Structure 1
Amino acid sequence: MRLNRLMFRAFLLIACLCGSLHSHSQRLVTFEGQAQGTYYIVKYLSEDTVSLQPQVTALFREIDASLSLWQPASLINRFNESERGVLMDAHMRTVVKRAQEVSRATKGAFDITVKPLVDLWGFGVIRHQRKPSADSIRYALQFTGYKLLQVKGDSLIKKKAQVQIDANGVAQGYTTDCVARLLESCGIANYLVDVGGELRAKGVNARGNSWSVGIERPSGAAARPQQALLYLAQKSIATSGNYRRFFDEGKTRYAHTIDPKTGIALHSNVISVTVVADDCITSDAFDNALMLWGPEKGLKFIRQHPELRLEAAYIFTKKKGETKEAYSPGFLEMMKK
């Protein structure tokens, strides 16, 4: 569920000069690297220019030990291999709690118990490109559903031994929030964190302006997409799209977003949805459901639930192949046209 150069390509607009309106002594610190199968970029203003990258790297390792499906000994893999459940650490506890809240809010359109279906469609740790049989989908659906999970104290319990969870729909958003909290614990008030296209911003950049993300908008007949700016003032952003992980079978393109209720991989006209929320785990979780719903139902959901403080932007195609866009009012207000 990541920003991609095809659509909604994020770039960071950072000034080279140290002209902060708040402190002439603060300087821009930047570092980047690879983690969780993707990139990360951290930028912040600080009087102390010693890089916090070692601490961030250690944090990535800690989160992976809890939530990574690619680490055989991780806590999430121990849960999936167990018949009953596990004692959760702080990372799993936070992610499961928020995931269950979003599952209830979306009536199961987002669900971390989707792992058997993800594996069946070939979008899990072991990859393949073929549509599964209807019988195998029906079988996997028996073990899919957020109500099959029970949280009892610090324990995560499965109601059926075959239940397995996949936190990839929220892990990078959660990691972005963790990095942001690490920076804040070090006294940093102005930062932009980007983990694989999931971003969280606070304060201002070196020029004293809100951090800005560049997005590409459909340009109609123009040769190149138009550029617009989205200003992230105390906000987070995540994008889900059907252009990164997919396979074609016949005339149908199946993307990695899977409907937990039907067990079917996404094959719609929605190219991407970008979601803005107060924290990145929320953006990351809701972009899955909004992607499945499409612009009409997704934007209606946002209007009906102002308490969630969500904004969204859709890129989709019409029947004749024309690319269109649809925005929530609040998203448009955050853009500079």
Structure 2
Amino acid sequence: MLLGVLKYIGLIQFAVMIFSFPNVNEEAKRFEFNKVKMGGDFRIIVYEKEEEKVLAPIEKAYQLVDSLVEIFSSYSNDSYLSKLNTYKTLTAPPADLVKLMARSQEAFENSNGYFDISIQPVIDIWNQAAKTSRLPTKRKLKRIGTSIGFSNAVLRLDSLSLEISKSSKVNLGGIAKGYIIDKVYQHLYNLGFNNFLIEAAGDIRVFGAPPEKPYWEISVSSDDNSKFNVKLLSGQAIATSGSTYRFRCIEGRKYSHIVNPKTLTPVTHNNTSTVIANDATTADYLASALNIVRDSKTINTIIKKEENSEFIIFSNNGIILKSKLFPFIEQSLN
């Protein structure tokens, strides 16, 4: 039975469908919760015997999401991340911010610099170019590019202090969503829930499976049509990145919201990248990085650095590249 399709215009780059199956286990009931968080739907599905056991933990899960958004948000001037970007230094920063910044450094290194949270100043230039409908000059991009790169931007990273250079701004948008999903996953796991799914703007992590099924079935596409049905095992996460719904138009040409840190220019292709990994944080950043890289050798080098990760890169015309063990269930061609 198809449970639904989520499409987030301006927030998500793809459509994702979650398939459930007939609940033949009368003891396990399906409970679904959905609240708007981070500008989109944050959905939690749990299979449990009694609703009373579910309600309080789910409410605490959403409170956890809110507390993390207060740390990582780029849209709130009161968030810890915004304060870091404004004042360039944070004393006694929140532990979760330190952890995610450290994970972002690992992601930068593992992706050969294609995932870079310090890219925000370049994104600002392209956002301004979209407003004026004029491309930025190479000279301007080159000048701002000297401050790009994790080691150039982040001067101190420990539990006592965070410090970035005066010309830098960091944005955790390509990894924070996955981290928040992982924190909610751990919350539900610690409370003993055996079968659940967490989805934030299309990024998903699961534990257990629907009743009488060995896996969750997820369908991913670059538009509204179901393209690839994928098997997601307990503990795994899936994330997708692309420019289907998020792009800028400058001088009559479409430019993705995703900027290549190597060239300082937005992606112009219409490819979609989907990654399955051991956790949502990893899947989130890898999906973003692989949407930039075009060379298959580099892609395979990056994906091998994260254990048990699989990927597929595709467009509306079909598969462009994929790892050998990407877990298809079936392919739906529309």
Same-fold status (TM-score > 0.5): yes
CA-CA distance at 1:114 after TM superposition: 1.1
> Which whole-Å CA distance do the structure 1 matches of 2:282 and 2:7 have between them?
16
Structure 1 residue aligned with 2:151: 147
CA-CA distance at 1:30 after TM superposition: 0.8
After superposition, the CA RMSD in angstroms is 2.8
Structure 2 residue aligned with 1:29: 31
Q: Which amino acid aligns with 2:46?
A: Y
Mean alpha-carbon deviation: is it higher for 186-195 or for 47-56? 47-56
Matched, 1:170 2:175: yes
CA-CA distance at 1:255 after TM superposition: 0.4
Structure 2 residue aligned with 1:56: 61
CA-CA distance at 1:297 after TM superposition: 4.0
Mean alpha-carbon deviation: is it higher for 27-36 or for 4-13? 4-13
Q: Which amino acid aligns with 2:325?
A: G
Change (3 A) 1:83 1:287: same
Change (3 A) 1:8 1:167: closer
Matched, 1:136 2:135: no
- On the 8 A contact 1:241/1:271 being kept in 2, the answer is yes
Structure 1 residue aligned with 2:273: 273
Q: Which amino acid aligns with 1:12?
A: I
Change (3 A) 1:181 1:128: farther
1:103-146 CA-to-partner distances (Å, cap 9, x unmatched) read 0112211111111112121189x977653222321222122110
Mean alpha-carbon deviation: is it higher for 4-13 or for 181-190? 4-13
Q: Which amino acid aligns with 1:206?
A: P
Change (3 A) 1:262 1:13: same
Change (3 A) 1:307 1:314: closer
- On the 8 A contact 1:34/1:40 being kept in 2, the answer is yes
Structure 2 residue aligned with 1:315: 314
- On the 8 A contact 1:10/1:215 being kept in 2, the answer is yes
1:80 to 78, 85, 95: 85
> Which whole-Å CA distance do the structure 2 matches of 1:142 and 1:245 have between them?
27
Structure 2 residue aligned with 1:157: 163
Structure 2 residue aligned with 1:258: 259
Structure 1 alignment gaps of length 5 or more: 219-223
> Which whole-Å CA distance do the structure 2 matches of 1:217 and 1:252 have between them?
20
Q: Percent identity?
A: 20
The residue correspondences of 1:191-210 to structure 2 (distance < 5 A) are 191-210=196-215
> Which whole-Å CA distance do the structure 2 matches of 1:179 and 1:123 have between them?
35
> Which whole-Å CA distance do the structure 2 matches of 1:132 and 1:242 have between them?
20
TM (normalized to structure 1)? 0.84
Structure 2 residue aligned with 1:287: 287
> Which whole-Å CA distance do the structure 2 matches of 1:227 and 1:289 have between them?
22
CA-CA distance at 1:7 after TM superposition: 7.8
Q: How many residues get paired? A: 318
Change (3 A) 1:299 1:83: closer
TM (normalized to structure 2)? 0.85
Secondary structure in 2 matching 1:308? coil
Change (3 A) 1:138 1:9: same
